[in-house]
Structure 1
Amino acid sequence: MTATSEVRLVAMGPEHADEVLRIYQLGIDEGNATFETTAPSWEHFDATKLSGHRHVALDASGAVLGWAAAVPVSDRCVYAGVVEHSVYVHPDARGQGVGATLLDALIKSTELAGIWTIQSGVFPENTGSLSLHRRMGFRVVGTRERIGRLHGAWRDVVLIERRSHAVA
């Protein structure tokens, strides 16, 4: 993995599928990223993520360092400007600004599309993600206590959001 200065952002496409899903599975395997226990198929992933808001960070050789993507929170028209996002960075590329670069791209693409709120749920144990999001302008809305079980254990989720100042 290479340093941030060599990171190139591109739209996520099927050519990135294997690496995106591998990075997703690495995050899942660490146990503090999601309630999911296995990465989905590319077909499911591709069908559910908003096409204009899927970004990958590539190193100089073209290897995927991380990805960010968003999904609508609801199909109700009143929530048309609200998305839930995910950002995953390969363990070897963490601490190099890849996550911030991906979140910045996601913020820009959503604001250009008129999206006013980006939200997510983060396990409180995922302190690196919470710190990154705080630096990128996200705020903690609250903690949903014992909201779900992962491998038989109840887990809390910190609900975070970023409200756009550009979209009124």
Structure 2
Amino acid sequence: MRPEHAPAVLAIYQLGIDEHNATFETTAPTWNAFDAVKLPEHRLVALDDGGHVAGWAAVVPVSDRCTYAGVVEHSVYVHPGARGRGVGSALLTALITSTEAAGIWTIQSGIFPENTASLALHERAGFRIVGTRERISRHRGRWRDVVLVERRSPVVD
């Protein structure tokens, strides 16, 4: 992911936000805010045949404590027009490869239970459900649960 991808990345993020089942966020951040928190070495885009961004993946550290240096939280977003074509799977596979090469041992995320496509994608990629945080926060006027998923690397000790 390079700065020239920023408008498309943020537009895809906003499309996911607008569907109401991807995140608690209500608007995509500015590029500066996005850039400030996402780890630069683990930001990926998938390009379609025309060179347009079809999806993206990125991670943030879960903590600044050194004991959690190998644990990240990730996001994967696919443009609605590119869904069902393996974009999410390709991004998640590449993200796993990237993070394992850097010694990251756990990738985690929280997914709304209604986002069944994302839950299935993560299951196929080797993530397991850790639990459900019930009524963790209000989103657009209603309480929402979040399913916690994680993937522990089999190759990073």
Q: Does 1:153 align with 2:142?
A: yes
Q: Does 1:25 align with 2:26?
A: no
Cross-structure match for 1:58: 47
Cross-structure match for 2:79: 90
Identity %: 75
Measured after TM superposition, the shift of residue 59 of structure 1 is 1.0
RMSD after superposition? 0.4
Measured after TM superposition, the shift of residue 39 of structure 1 is 0.1
- Note the residue ranges of structure 1 that are not aligned, 5 or more in a row: 1-11
Residue 21 of structure 1 aligns with an amino acid whose one-letter code is L
Matches within 5 A, 1:110-149: 110-149=99-138
Measured after TM superposition, the shift of residue 81 of structure 1 is 0.2
**Could you tell me how far apart the structure 2 residues matched to 1:86 and 1:52 are?**
14
- Note the residue ranges of structure 2 that are not aligned, 5 or more in a row: none
**Could you tell me how far apart the structure 2 residues matched to 1:61 and 1:110 are?**
28
**Could you tell me how far apart the structure 1 residues matched to 2:99 and 2:41 are?**
8
Per the normalisation by structure 1, the TM-score is 0.93
Q: Per-residue CA shift, 1:130-157, capped at 9, x if unaligned?
A: 0000000000000000001111100000
Instruction: Give the secondary-structure state (helix, strand or coil) at the position aligned to 2:117.
Output: helix
Measured after TM superposition, the shift of residue 61 of structure 1 is 1.5
Residue 90 of structure 2 aligns with an amino acid whose one-letter code is T
Residue 48 of structure 2 aligns with an amino acid whose one-letter code is D
Cross-structure match for 2:3: 14
Residue 97 of structure 2 aligns with an amino acid whose one-letter code is K
Residue 82 of structure 2 aligns with an amino acid whose one-letter code is A
Instruction: Give the secondary-structure state (helix, strand or coil) at the position aligned to 2:24.
Output: coil
Number of equivalences? 157
